Amino acid sequence: MSWKRPPDAIEGYRITVTPATTDGPTREFTLAPSTTQTILRDLLPDTEYLVTISSYDDTEESLSISGQLTIQTGALITTGEKKLDEVQLQKCSLSAVTDLVFLVDGSWSVGRNNFKYILDFIVTLVSAFDIGEDKTRVGIVQYSSDTRTEFNLNQYFKKRDLLEAIKGIPYKGGNTMTGEAIDYLIRNTFTESAGARKGFPKVAVVITDGKSQDEVEIPARELRSIGAEIFSLGIKAADARELKLIASQPSLTHVFNVANFDGIVDVQNEIISQVCSGVDEQLGELVSGEEAVEPPSNLVATQVSSRSIRITWYPSPSEITGYKVEFIPMIAGAKQHSLSVGPQTTAFNVKDLSSETEYQIHLYAMKGLTASEPVTIMEKTQPVKVQVECSRGVDVKADIVLLVDGSYSIGIANFVKVRAFLEVLVKSFEISPEKVQISLVQYSRDPYTEFALNKFNRIEDIIHAINTFPYRGGSTNTGKAMTYVREKVFVTSRGARPNVPRVMILITDGKSSDAFKDPAVKLRKSDVEIFAVGVKDAVRSELEAIATPPAETHVYEVEDFDAFQRISLQLTQSVCLRIEQELREIKKKSYLPARNLEFSEVTSNSFKVNWSPAGAGVLSYLVKYKVAIGEEEFFVSVPAPVTTTVLTNLLPKTTYTVSVIAEYEDGDGPSLDGEETTLEVRGSPRNLRVTDETTDSFKVGWTQAPGNVLRYRLAYRPVTGGERKQVTVSAKERATTLQNLQPDTRYEVSVTAEYQSGPGNPLNGYGKTEEVLGRPRNLKVSDPTISSMKLSWSSAPGKVQRYLVTYTPVAGGETQEVTLRGDTTTTVLRGLEPGTRYALTVTALYASGAGDALSGQGDTLEDCLEHDSGFVREDLCD
């Protein structure tokens, strides 16, 4: 199946495939706007299908085009010429549901044979809808001198029964009281007791063949005021002005006229199309005023850690502008999180949560400021995991230097206790060149490396070295020792590794004999994490000046060497936690950012964001955007390897800051930032209306376009070709009258809003001037006989389709009529009564209605045979 793209910007196509001859299911699917062909699969052999396609944007859907096809066993055939009329029959969309009422003229002027044409038309129009109690309901009312309900809206809910009932409606006969009949619809048909439903579109189709004998304007206005959309179909001598008074606006799409009953078939597809469109528009207005936003579904927490929870959900079926996510902690004092994410997002990782905290999670679908009912779950973050022994952590890497005070103040007895404490510490680590390396430096007056970082690869060797290294004695030059560690120990030649956390644990029992502050600062600035353990006479302020902040986790004091056991667990936990944190920071530095941020396809309410991929291992990209100055921040999660997204529902002529963050398994890469400004609103006017049609003018109205419009430009020309003319009106105008037009001509009309930055999209439509409805002239009666007379006249102006000649005995009697071709200007009336004066009218019938009648009188001759006596009266007979 293939098609041509429409000229307008669209968001996609909607295709339906419906079995025409069976009760099988209708399939519906959508395609991207760039698509111009598709393959229809899984069709049943020897089954006729009706296929429709329409295009749509974010506000409306086009009229559909349709075709039929049949799959025969082993071959694909499309319907041939024989099926052409069937292919062209209009069908309403499956969503077109309405209360549809026909008001049918059953007066004497219609005639019993012509009444069948009306019923056939009703059957065709009804067949365009899906009939049912919860679908389209149909009622029919026939009127003449009085009004009669043939059946109400709640009588037939099966299409077969309904069509049979329509075909069986008897012809009524009588005068033409259209106004009274319209009022009858208000009082008796569009009522709840007769089956009319609240919140459903109401459509009335009025079919008449003549001028009403009562007033129609006020009843029609009242019927429209209760929400009914009225279409009028005039046949033969129907009054064109009256049809417009009855129908809804614009007349171009609500008023139809044919010269004779057999001409109904020529306009029935156009009528069906307009009725279907009217129902869809009414539904759109009803839905937009009352539709609730459907919530998303299946909200699940898929990944939970101590600081984040990742949630996923199924999207809302409604047209939405985004989602709002709320994380409400169930403990006092914890931070509440509220985030807005884009409409395409269905998964999001909420970070910076409190550990070991239960959260109530609400998810809303948003349409502007309107929120759906929330979907809610409860989830608890995990506790912070601290390894008591770093060896239990996966991929724990560190270079650790134990800097031990070996001055005289320690003493041999306490030095043994220091060795025992060091053994407890090193057993917490998994020793290997790929994991943790340990060096031991003893200092007093001078520092001395007992073993370097790359000396031992086994824990047993390290423990043996700790238990056997000698006590050296001397003064306490802590500053000199820290400089030594920085310059001689944390170096590549002694085993120090790049991109691995570096930790030094200082153990001292007294005040330093040299300057220590500057060496400590330099050591910390070389990315070494310093822990300080003070024993007995160590000075707290000195320890705090040496250690990495905060002191609460990096400075430890014991009253004597026997108390080491009390702090060993806490010290080990702190060291391990800092190693893990530092590993994350180091790993984060390896997380490459997205690159080459670019913006494209900028409109007044959206733009496209593009970037180049980040490093290997990226899971997704978090796109954050907000108005550059203040305002709420919005988020879109884009799964890798996709590197583009469209930000929608933006404010016009507004600068936005945009950040793209590459999200890895254990952290995020640096932010890639940029700015883009949306365009000025350059929209289209809406609701083109053509009213007040005359033979040389009509009025064009519209609903204002969005944004700062400078002026409106109207362009128009005949559909058949000709000069294109333009007029401009000020931005405050909402209507103008186009004049000096050709009569009986259909015009293409466009209204374009012009802005400072250029023109918006045009609003296109059609208008039609009225036909010149004239009347014949110079009625002459000649060649009378006792049973006939000849009439002749001068032709009426314009495109006369037929002439309607009526003749009625002046003294009273039945009116008779004859219809002639439009190029005829003479006829002989036969079968007349002798010696009788007749009132004569000749009316020109046009495509748009009847002109004024030309009236006159004519006499037949008296019968020359004297019936009473049987003699011939010579005064009457020649």
CATH number at residue 60: 2.60.40.10
Give the confidence band of 72 by pLDDT, cuts at 50, 70, 90.
low
Give the 3-state secondary structure of 312-377.
EEECCCCCCCEEEEEEEECCCCCCCEEEEECCCCCEEEECCCCCCCEEEEEEEEEECCEECCCEEE
Encode burial over 668-697: b for 16+ CB neighbours within 10 A, e otherwise: bbeebeeebebbbbbbbbeebbbbebebee
Phi, psi of 707, deg, nearest 5: 85, -170
Residue 569 has pLDDT above 90, yes or no: no
Give the confidence band of 871 by pLDDT, cuts at 50, 70, 90.
low
The count of residues in the chain is: 878
Q: How far is CA 779 from the centre of its chain?
A: 64
Could you please report the per-residue DSSP string of 26-61? PEEEEE-TT--B----SPPBTEEEEEEEEEE-SS-B
Within a domain: 282? yes
Average pLDDT over residues 86-114: 80
**% of the chain beyond a pLDDT of 70:** 92
Could you please report the per-residue DSSP string of 797-858? SS---EEEEEEEETTS---EEEEEETT--EEEE-SPPTT-EEEEEEEEEETTEE-PPEEEEE
In angstroms, rounded to a whole number, what is the distance separating the alpha carbons of residues 199 and 660? Answer: 46
Gap between the terminal Cα atoms of the chain: 80
Within a domain: 602? no
Written as six digits, the tokens of 96 are 């077109």
In angstroms, rounded to a whole number, what is the distance separating the alpha carbons of residues 74 and 513? Answer: 101
- Of 189, 148, 205, 155, which Cα lies nearest the Cα of 172? 148
Weakest-pLDDT range from 89-98, 795-804, 806-815: 89-98
Same domain, 655 and 710: no
Q: How far is CA 42 from the centre of its chain?
A: 29
Type of residue at 816: Q
Ranked by mean pLDDT, the top range of 48-52, 87-91, 652-656 is 652-656
pLDDT digits (tens, 9 = 90+) for 589-625: 778 899 999 999 998 889 999 999 988 888 889 999 9
Per-residue model confidence (pLDDT) at position 791: 96
Type of residue at 28: E
* Residues 6 or more apart whose Cβ sits within 8 Å of residue 361: 299, 301, 309, 311, 325, 326, 327, 328, 376, 377, 378, 379
* Positions of E strands within 190-331: 202-208, 228-235, 255-258, 297-304, 309-314, 322-329
pLDDT digits (tens, 9 = 90+) for 15-33: 888 776 555 677 777 887 8
Per-residue model confidence (pLDDT) at position 76: 43
pLDDT digits (tens, 9 = 90+) for 313-340: 999 998 888 899 999 998 877 788 888 8
- Is residue 737 within 8 A of residue 699, CB to CB? The reply is yes
Q: Read off the DSSP letter of residue 275.
A: H
Average pLDDT over residues 573-596: 83
Average pLDDT over residues 846-859: 89
Same domain, 79 and 110: no
pLDDT digits (tens, 9 = 90+) for 723-753: 999 999 999 999 999 999 998 899 999 999 9
- Of 495, 479, 515, 493, which Cα lies nearest the Cα of 401? 495
Residue 520 has pLDDT above 60, yes or no: yes
Helix axes 112-127 and 264-290, enclosed angle (nearest 10): 40
* Positions of E strands within 134-217: 137-143, 147-151, 202-208
In angstroms, rounded to a whole number, what is the distance separating the alpha carbons of residues 360 and 607? Answer: 34
With 0-12 / 13-18 / 19 or more C-beta atoms within 10 angstroms meaning exposed / middle / buried, residue 244 is: buried
Residue 309 has pLDDT above 60, yes or no: yes
With 0-12 / 13-18 / 19 or more C-beta atoms within 10 angstroms meaning exposed / middle / buried, residue 587 is: middle
Within a domain: 6? no
Same domain, 149 and 258: yes
Within a domain: 599? no
In angstroms, rounded to a whole number, what is the distance separating the alpha carbons of residues 177 and 295? Answer: 52
Residue that wins the pLDDT comparison between 62 and 553 = 553
Per-residue model confidence (pLDDT) at position 473: 87
Residue 828 has pLDDT above 90, yes or no: yes
Domain extent, residue 122, equals: 103-290
Per-residue model confidence (pLDDT) at position 203: 95
Same domain, 499 and 397: yes
Same domain, 335 and 436: no
Mean pLDDT in the chain? 86
**How many Cα atoms occupy the beta-carbon half-sphere of 392 within 13 Å?**
10
Same domain, 568 and 494: yes
519, 555, 570 from 533: Cα distances, Å: 17, 6, 12
Residue 6 has pLDDT above 80, yes or no: yes
Per-residue model confidence (pLDDT) at position 865: 63
Weakest-pLDDT range from 141-145, 199-203, 582-586: 582-586
In angstroms, rounded to a whole number, what is the distance separating the alpha carbons of residues 61 and 277? Answer: 10
Within a domain: 598? no
Residue 191 has pLDDT above 50, yes or no: yes
Point out the domain boundary residue: 61, 88, 115: 88
Point out the domain boundary residue: 747, 768, 789: 768
In angstroms, rounded to a whole number, what is the distance separating the alpha carbons of residues 177 and 143? Answer: 7
Give the confidence band of 417 by pLDDT, cuts at 50, 70, 90.
confident
Same domain, 285 and 332: no
170, 183, 679, 712 from 731: Cα distances, Å: 56, 41, 20, 6
- Of 56, 58, 60, 5, which Cα lies nearest the Cα of 28? 56
For residue 416, the domain's CATH number is 3.40.50.410
Point out the domain boundary residue: 768, 797, 820: 768
Within a domain: 630? no
Same domain, 754 and 803: no
In angstroms, rounded to a whole number, what is the distance separating the alpha carbons of residues 236 and 844? Answer: 10
Strand partners, 736: 700
Residue 717 CB coordination number (10 Å): 16
With 0-12 / 13-18 / 19 or more C-beta atoms within 10 angstroms meaning exposed / middle / buried, residue 73 is: exposed
Give the confidence band of 194 by pLDDT, cuts at 50, 70, 90.
very high
pLDDT digits (tens, 9 = 90+) for 42-60: 787 777 777 888 887 766 6
Helix axes 564-590 and 412-426, enclosed angle (nearest 10): 40
Same domain, 500 and 403: yes
Q: Number of structural domains, the chain?
A: 7
Residue 82 has pLDDT above 70, yes or no: no
- Of 766, 618, 600, which Cα lies nearest the Cα of 674? 600
Within a domain: 742? yes
In angstroms, rounded to a whole number, what is the distance separating the alpha carbons of residues 776 and 804? Answer: 11
Per-residue model confidence (pLDDT) at position 78: 42
pLDDT digits (tens, 9 = 90+) for 209-242: 888 889 999 999 999 988 899 999 998 878 888 8
Same domain, 356 and 258: no
430, 580, 651, 769 from 394: Cα distances, Å: 10, 10, 48, 84
Residue whose entry in the numeric block shows the structure tokens 């997204």: 645
Phi, psi of 233, deg, nearest 5: -120, 115
Encode burial over 859-877: b for 16+ CB neighbours within 10 A, e otherwise: ebbeeeeeeeeeeeeeeee
Same domain, 309 and 218: no
Within a domain: 874? no
Residue 873 has pLDDT above 80, yes or no: no
Weakest-pLDDT range from 124-133, 284-293, 572-581, 614-623: 284-293
- Is residue 678 within 8 A of residue 605, CB to CB? The reply is yes
Average pLDDT over residues 833-859: 91
Same domain, 441 and 551: yes
